[in-house]
Structure 1
Amino acid sequence: MAFDRPDRVKNAPKSSLVDAVRDIKIASAERGDIVIDMKEADRARLELLAQELKPVFDEVPLDDERFDFAISSGLQPRLWIDATAHVMMGKDRRQYRFVRDSRLGRLTLAEGTAIEPIAQSVTRYIAERIYERELAFAGDDISYRIQKAADEEKAAKDIASEEASKLADQPAEEKETVIEEVSMAAKDRASKTAASKAVWFLIAAFVVGGTLLLAFRDAIFG
Structure 2
Amino acid sequence: MDPNEDTASPNTRLVDAVRQVKIAAAERNDVVVDMKEADRARLDLLAQRLQPVFDEVPADDERFDFALSSGLQPRLWIDATAHVMMGRDRRTYRFVRDTRLGRIILAEAVDAAPVVEAVTTYIAERLHEREMAFAADETVSYRAGVSQRPRVLEGRSDDAVEDEEPDADTEPSGAASIADTGAGGPEGMALSRRDRDSVRGMSPIGWFVLGLFVACGVAILYYRDVLIP
CA deviation after TM superposition for structure 1 residue 131, in Å? 1.1
Q: In the alignment, is residue 70 of structure 1 matched against residue 73 of structure 2?
A: no
Q: What are structure 1's unaligned runs of at least 5 residues?
A: 1-10, 162-189, 207-222
Task: For 2:56 and 2:49, locate their aligned partners in 1 and report how far apart those are by CA, in whole Å.
Answer: 13
Which of the numbers 120, 126, 139 marks the counterpart of 2:123?
A: 126
CA deviation after TM superposition for structure 1 residue 12, in Å? 4.2
Q: In the alignment, is residue 116 of structure 1 matched against residue 110 of structure 2?
A: no
Please give the TM-score of this superposition, normalised by the length of structure 2. 0.62
Please give the TM-score of this superposition, normalised by the length of structure 1. 0.64
Task: For 2:199 and 2:106, locate their aligned partners in 1 and report how far apart those are by CA, in whole Å.
Answer: 80
Provide the secondary structure at the position in 2 that maps to 1:87: strand
Of 21-30 and 136-145, more deviation after overlay is shown by 136-145
CA deviation after TM superposition for structure 1 residue 160, in Å? 3.2
Which of the numbers 153, 156, 162 marks the counterpart of 1:160?
A: 156
Provide the secondary structure at the position in 1 that maps to 2:151: helix
Task: Write the letter of the residue equivalent to 1:111.
Answer: E
Match in the other structure for 1:168? none
Match in the other structure for 1:215? none
CA deviation after TM superposition for structure 1 residue 149, in Å? 5.2
Mapping of 1:83-162 within 5 angstroms? Answer: 83-138=80-135, 139-140=137-138, 141-142=140-141, 146-148=145-147, 150=149, 152-153=151-152, 156=154, 159-160=155-156
User: What is the Cα-based RMSD across aligned positions, in Å?
Assistant: 2.9
Task: For 1:99 and 1:151, locate their aligned partners in 2 and report how far apart those are by CA, in whole Å.
Answer: 53
Task: For 2:144 and 2:130, locate their aligned partners in 1 and report how far apart those are by CA, in whole Å.
Answer: 28
**Cα distance change, pair 144–48 in 1 and its aligned pair in 2 (3 A):** closer
Which of the numbers 60, 64, 67 marks the counterpart of 2:57?
A: 60
Match in the other structure for 2:8? 13
Provide the secondary structure at the position in 2 that maps to 1:134: helix
